[in-house]
């Protein structure tokens, strides 16, 4: 078996069409597909100020490399980086990210659970019998949105790939929370609200294995390990279920995404008149009277501790 384009040894088989590609052809395919996604869904526009959420993992580092390359070619895009240090011992290491941003003259803003809320994730979980992702996801989303807004970004780029989105769609469906799926898509949100920084997902149509292959071929200095808390998460169960289904029926993940995008306009139309309230405690946007962050912090006996951003 050889590469479809140049007849050399392949490095990957694309599961959506069973095409085999060599290293150079796959890199071209990958980058071209990202560019097409950005263009088709107008993810990036002239004079955008984009905050890029980067953990230093394969997905966000790949996105950092590509968006920095894109911004340098356009010269009209203001790109900076936000990193969240949850406080997971031996997992979140940001030195490589710091070096990359310094080398590429990118501002890096670092926030931590410890400084913002008083405890690291490890400390919170030691004191509270609670699922890790149920607290980490809420706090992480809050910090990314509020800090991107505070820093003047009009868009927040995240490294979510096709697997991530397919998992979210199934989770919302299985939990009977289809309303939550209405905000998904390559660019999130139903209505524009100045309190929300709209998220863009340039890796939206790339499988996790494709992102992993690209990061490996580009020799990015990243770890490919999973979060040590991922095994106790509902998402982990959905991920394993979906991977098993994909192995038995190739193309399942793509089919989920394509079907979802067909109904997404209907979902957004249905929920377009939903009211966005302000939390009675912190004034952040929420669907009820008190936001999930305030509810969660009260439950684990923590308080928000606003601090100045670290700029490196």
Backbone phi, then psi, for 276, in 5-degree steps? -105, 115
Chain-centroid distance of CA 3 in Å reads 31
**Confidence at residue 85, expressed as pLDDT on a 0 to 100 scale:** 93
- Core vs surface per residue 101-140: b (16+ CB within 10 A) or e: beeeebebbbbbbbbbbbbbbbbbbeeeeeebbebbebbb
Q: Are 193 and 88 in contact (CB under 8 A)?
A: no
Q: What is the pLDDT of residues 230-286, one digit of tens each?
A: 766 788 899 999 999 999 999 999 999 999 999 999 999 999 988 888 889 888 888
Give the closest residue to 272 by CA, choosing from 205, 183, 210: 183
Question: If you compute the radius of gyration of the chain from its CA atoms, what whole number of angstroms results?
Answer: 20
In sequence order, the β-bridge partners of residue 81 are 52, 108
**Confidence at residue 50, expressed as pLDDT on a 0 to 100 scale:** 97
Q: What are the boundaries of each domain within the chain?
A: 22-276
Instruction: Say yes or no: domain 22-276 is CATH 3.40.50.920.
Output: no
Sort 224 into a burial class: Cβ within 10 Å, 0-12 / 13-18 / 19+: exposed
Low-confidence ranges of the chain (pLDDT < 50): 307-312
**Confidence at residue 311, expressed as pLDDT on a 0 to 100 scale:** 42
**Confidence at residue 312, expressed as pLDDT on a 0 to 100 scale:** 44
Tokens of 129: 């019998």
Tokens of 137: 């996801």
**Confidence at residue 129, expressed as pLDDT on a 0 to 100 scale:** 83
Helix (H, G, I), strand (E, B) or coil at 202: coil
pTM: 0.92
Chain-centroid distance of CA 246 in Å reads 22
**Confidence at residue 232, expressed as pLDDT on a 0 to 100 scale:** 64
**Confidence at residue 287, expressed as pLDDT on a 0 to 100 scale:** 81
Q: What is the pLDDT of residues 93-117, one digit of tens each?
A: 789 999 999 999 999 999 999 999 9
The span from the CA of 95 to the CA of 225, in Å, is 17
Backbone phi, then psi, for 198, in 5-degree steps? -65, 135
CA end-to-end span of the chain, whole Å?
Answer: 48
**Confidence at residue 5, expressed as pLDDT on a 0 to 100 scale:** 78
């Amino acid at each position: 078996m050889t590469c479809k384009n140049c007849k050399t040894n392949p490095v990957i088989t694309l599961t959506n069409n069973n095409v085999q590609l060599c290293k150079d052809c796959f890199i071209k395919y990958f980058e071209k597909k990202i560019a097409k996604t950005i263009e088709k869904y107008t993810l990036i526009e002239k004079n955008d100020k984009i905050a890029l959420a980067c953990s230093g993992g394969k997905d966000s580092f790949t996105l950092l490399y590509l968006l920095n390359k894109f911004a340098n070619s356009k010269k009209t895009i203001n790109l900076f980086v936000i990193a969240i240090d949850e406080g997971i011992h031996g997992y979140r290491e940001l030195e490589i990210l710091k070096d990359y941003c310094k080398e590429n003259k990118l501002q890096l803003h670092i926030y931590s659970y410890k400084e913002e809320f008083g405890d690291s994730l490890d400390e919170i979980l030691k004191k509270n019998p609670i699922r890790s992702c149920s607290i980490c996801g809420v706090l992480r989303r809050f910090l990314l949105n509020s800090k991107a807004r505070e820093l003047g970004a009009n868009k927040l780029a995240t490294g979510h790939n096709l697997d991530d989105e397919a998992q979210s769609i199934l989770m919302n469906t299985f939990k009977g929370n289809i309303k939550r799926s209405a905000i998904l898509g390559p660019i999130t949100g139903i209505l524009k609200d100045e309190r929300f920084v709209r998220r863009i997902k340039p890796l939206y149509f790339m499988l996790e294995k494709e992102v992993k292959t690209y990061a490996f071929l580009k020799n990015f200095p990243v770890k490919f390990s999973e979060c040590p808390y991922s095994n106790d998460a509902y998402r982990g169960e959905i991920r394993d279920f979906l991977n098993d289904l994909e192995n038995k029926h190739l193309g399942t993940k793509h089919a989920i995404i394509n079907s979802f995008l067909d109904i997404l306009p209907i979902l957004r139309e249905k929920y377009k008149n939903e009211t966005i309230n302000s939390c009675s405690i912190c004034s952040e946007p929420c669907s009820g009277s008190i936001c999930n962050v305030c509810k969660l912090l009260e439950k684990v006996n923590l308080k928000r501790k606003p601090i100045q951003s670290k700029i490196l």
